[in-house]
Structure 1
Amino acid sequence: MTARSAARPRLVLGLVLLAMLAPGLALAEDQPGSCNVPAYLLASDSALPKVADALKAGRPLDILVVGSRSSTIMTADATAYPWRMQSALQEKLAAATINVAVELKVKKTAEEAVAGFAKMMEERKPVLVIWQTGTFDATRSVDPDEFRDAVDEGVTLMQKAGADVILMNLQYSPRTETMISSAPYLDNLRVVAQKHDVPLFDRFAIMREWNEKGEFDLFSPSPGIDLAKRVHDCIGRALSSFVIDAARINPGELRIQR
């Protein structure tokens, strides 16, 4: 078993970074499998130059997803969004080699996660890090300024290690929005992203859009693994488009890797 395949069960069991925060998730019956996302949510003014350089030079694109556990999916297959993103990127960038690894920071605040970043970057050496953060801090009511400082430190460490960075914000759940004050954490992630000129994947806005448009009913009391898989697939595909847009590349011009 490869290291990547060994990591997949741990990911799926421990890393549901999106629609399962609510007790249930349902897909609107009139739009089965829909992944509609407004174009403006998949575009970024900030670029991924190191991703572009690696792809244009024919080097592998090594992506590290750093995340925390929001809930669990009791399945061992590769349906969580990092692997769906990898599959979508490989399909769109047929000439490239796409490698995805996952670093779990289970039940850790941003500050606690950052403590291990220097070692993580030295060992992993990714071209791109996608850092999903904010949910655990919000549920623990961590001081928003302390959260911002921790994210700022983390992005600085990853950039100094030579990686491009994408920040991913909180999940959206209509069931918890009255119990968790998300706004300060969403705002501070945007502040840090702008300070460091890194793309921000607005998962919160995307999921809220799906809920409001009726593509996914995030308030439904009827949970289901199959439905969660569909949301992961949609997030993975959205991320793949986001990465390609931020890299400013033309897939048809990439060198075939040997």
Structure 2
Amino acid sequence: MTRSACCAVAGAMLLAGLTGAASASDAAASNEVAAVHPDTVPPGQKGVAGKAIDAVKSVAKSASDIFNRVPCSTPRDVKLDAAALPHVARKIASGEHVTIIAFGSSSTASYGASTPAFQYPNRLAEQLRRRYPKADITVMNQGIGGEDTPEMMARLKTSVIEQKPDLVIWQLGTNTVVKGGDIDATLGLLEDGIRQLQAIGTDIVLVDPQYVPATTAKEADADKMVGIIGRAARVMKVGLFPRFAVMREWHNDQKLPFNDFVINDGLHMNDWGYACFAQLLGDTIIKSVDQVQAGAEVPSNVLTFRPM
């Protein structure tokens, strides 16, 4: 193997490792770099290996440039208060293994993201690992597209409880609104699910629907669902990420057109939307950990996010 071929292989592997975005096919293709350095190949004849390296480089650049187009700003009208994650915060602060489960439907699965690197659970994991390089943090993506709360409850035990998570980020409500499901039934199901999670001692953050054309078209139902999830958070004393309010601020106050953060189906977020959502959520978890590291007592009955 030539020196240039070795360098090409090493470069491709490094970039893939930094971004976490290379697919299995890309990784396989990059193995062919040993045959020839792409810079020595005539234009138009790079082949699979050269294209694989170009793809990885492109993903790496887009991952670092995602906020250059529009910055991800902390919402002005929603207070981000990180006081409801004492369990996971103390474990991260002490260097223990931490398991975080992202539980929900297609926006947890991150439908619409261009690569796995832009799925919100992966963005969140990378952010936490950068901030706490000595911590052992696992973020599991347990999102299944199309599910309503009843379907989530049916797999709560196997997908979540049996994994013994330290934090569960539970996104729900959108499909019930969009598909015209039973919104009123959500409260009882959600409270039952929270009780089961609290019984194993996990921290919980609820995530309400996204503010997008598909939900604003059913404004009354969307507002009702947001209210029900907020009520469950208050009554059950768990965290709440008010995604609906945050995304509404993107559109109404920051004047971002929907296509800046939503794909063309009018429902799912794009790379920027998932990245900003993950960033804001990660910032809040980090604040909670920093409070613990500073020796502050973190009460377990304070909501993670509270409207001003």
Task: Bin the TM-score by the shorter chain.
Answer: 0.7 to 0.9
Q: Is the 8 A contact 2:86 2:203 kept in 1?
A: yes
> SS of the counterpart of 1:165?
strand
Q: Once the two structures are superposed, what CA deviation does each residue of 1:31-81 show, in whole Å capped at 9, x if it has no partner?
A: 823101226635237511211221233202211001211583364432111
Q: Is the 8 A contact 1:174 1:219 kept in 2?
A: no
Q: By percentage of residues, which structure has more helix?
A: 2
Structure 2 residue 104 is the aligned partner of structure 1 residue 67: yes
From 257, 279, 282, give the equivalent of 1:237. 279
Output the CA distance in 1 between the equivalents of 2:254 and 2:77.
Answer: 19
1:248–1:40 Cα change, 3 Å? farther
Percent of aligned pairs with the same amino acid: 26
Structure 2 residue 227 is the aligned partner of structure 1 residue 187: yes
Output the CA distance in 2 between the equivalents of 1:50 and 1:202.
Answer: 21
TM-score if structure 1 supplies the norm length?
0.76
- How many positions carry a matched residue from both structures? 225
Q: Is the 8 A contact 1:42 1:201 kept in 2?
A: no
> SS of the counterpart of 1:249?
helix
Q: Is the 8 A contact 1:201 1:242 kept in 2?
A: no
Deviation at residue 166 of structure 1 after TM alignment: 0.4
Structure (1 or 2) with the larger CA radius of gyration: 2
Q: Which moved more, 1:240-249 or 1:203-212?
A: 240-249
1:247–1:215 Cα change, 3 Å? farther
TM-score if structure 2 supplies the norm length?
0.64
Q: What residue in structure 2 maps to residue 147 of structure 1?
A: 186
1:41–1:60 Cα change, 3 Å? farther
Output the CA distance in 1 between the equivalents of 2:251 and 2:170.
Answer: 24
Q: Answer 1 or 2: higher relative contact order, Cα 8 Å, separation at least 6.
A: 1
From 117, 122, 125, give the equivalent of 2:156. 117
Q: Once the two structures are superposed, what CA deviation does each residue of 1:55-114 show, in whole Å capped at 9, x if it has no partner?
A: 233202211001211583364432111111111122222332221111123322112211
Q: Is the 8 A contact 2:124 2:278 kept in 1?
A: yes
Q: 1:233 corresponds to which letter in structure 2?
A: A
5 Å-filtered alignment, 1:123-142, equals 123-142=162-181
Q: Is the 8 A contact 2:90 2:292 kept in 1?
A: no
1:162–1:215 Cα change, 3 Å? same
Q: What residue in structure 2 maps to residue 84 of structure 1?
A: 123
5 Å-filtered alignment, 1:1-258, equals 32-38=69-75, 41=78, 43-44=80-81, 47-69=84-106, 72-73=111-112, 75-174=114-213, 176-180=215-219, 181-214=221-254, 216-218=256-258, 223=263, 228-247=270-289, 249=291
Output the CA distance in 1 between the equivalents of 2:261 and 2:273.
Answer: 16
1:39–1:54 Cα change, 3 Å? farther
